[in-house]
Amino acid sequence: VHRAGAAACGFTLVPPRDKWTDCLPPSANDDYEFAVLVLMICTPATPDSKIVPFFTKFFRDQHVSAEWVRDNKKKLEGIMAKSSLGRHKKNTEFIIAASDLCLAWGRVPRDYTELKDIKGVADKVALVTVHTAFGLTQGIAVDVHMLRIFRELGWYPGFKLSYKNERELCRSGVEGWFPFSEWGDMNRVYAGLGQLLNDKESRQLVVDFFLEQTLAEDSECRKEDFQRILSVAKLYSYKYSEEEEY
């Protein structure tokens, strides 16, 4: 199921989550790591269809750094207020908090636990930031899509807990049996798969792809795997919740 899901996101279909890295400045830029952090702070509860066009223009028009944020707080607030991202007051507040701490530290931390000291940054944002900015895999970044998909697949015990506690249970459970080599890419694969399943037309493409995989003579997908993916697809009449995305 995991390999077929990765294939669906990476090759057969075009997932929204594959695209957001394209709007970042070049990785050779001195402030690349801070730009990654700024973008990731704004991703909770916001689809990539809004993230990509906004940040493509934002990073093109502004040389975004911790110093730029410190010196242009009113400008940043105005840019965020005019954007279609939503949560513009929170995004502005969190970006300013990130700037203040990164200036105090003298750098963007390479340890995700340090990044969590920034207001508005929880495990998912921190883990994806260090993976994208530094190429470091320090855990599986679990989001709401992964919770829903993994719970339905039976990949962790689906107890009724608060979102924060269930996310921690899911992460510890999946990290316990998935090989470390797969950890870094799991958020891209399953968040991308979840965004596809949120769209009616894309959802049908995903189901058709898994059916083709199941029927192929040389496929590892079994009929039982297809039925499980079908049950996941049926869950998706879902709307984002801000609390769930932090």
Q: How confident is the model at residue 102 (pLDDT cuts 50, 70, 90)?
A: very high
pLDDT digits (tens, 9 = 90+) for 41-79: 998 877 777 888 899 999 999 999 999 999 999 999 999
Instruction: Please compute the mean of the pLDDT values over residues 99-106 and round it to a whole number.
Output: 95
80 has a pLDDT exceeding 60? yes
| Cα gap 45→219, rounded to integer Å | 35
pLDDT digits (tens, 9 = 90+) for 207-232: 888 888 788 777 777 788 788 888 88
Residue 56, Cβ neighbours under 10 Å: how many? 15
pTM of the model as a whole: 0.82
20 has a pLDDT exceeding 80? no
Q: Are 112 and 127 in contact (CB under 8 A)?
A: yes
CA dihedral 30, 32, 38, 44 (to 10 degrees): -170
Q: Are 18 and 51 in contact (CB under 8 A)?
A: no
Q: Are 126 and 112 in contact (CB under 8 A)?
A: yes
239 has a pLDDT exceeding 60? no
173 has a pLDDT exceeding 50? yes
Which is higher by pLDDT, 15 or 109?
Answer: 109
pLDDT (0 to 100) of residue 108: 94
The residue type of 150 is F
